[in-house]
Amino acid sequence: MIITLLIIGGFMGLGIIFMNGKGSILIAGYNTMSPVEKEQYDVVALCKFMGKMMFALSFSMVFWLLSDVYNNNSLFYFGLVLFIAIVAFMLIYINAGNRFYK
């Protein structure tokens, strides 16, 4: 339970950093691009989107914590399905279309 709280806190901290438009170096696909490719992206919009996704992932992990507190496995499974759905949405949204190009 303590580990889950630490992970939720870490994701919330990353969400705050990203929502301020900072921390683009922490986005895995972005930080491996060449400087020429990086200039094509709207970094602030990308960071803000990632911040929203960090908050959404944190929210889904709260169900994992509640499953420990209430000893209810269905809450864990709901949180896990929600987590996977958020990650799938995030990958599709970022890679489909040119949403974050300047």
pLDDT-based confidence at residue 13 (cuts at 50, 70, 90): very high
Q: Is the pLDDT of residue 48 over 90?
A: yes
Question: How many other CB atoms are there within 10 angstroms of residue 8's CB atom?
Answer: 18
Of 66, 45, 53, 70, the C-alpha closest to 15 is 53
**Residue ranges of domains in the chain:** 2-95
Q: How far apart are CA 68 and CA 27, in angstroms?
A: 30
Helical residues (DSSP H) of 1-102, grouped into ranges? 2-19, 28-31, 35-38, 43-70, 73-95
DSSP structural state of residue 97: S
pTM of the full structure? 0.88
Residue 31 pLDDT > 90: no
Joined tokens for residue 45: 């919009």
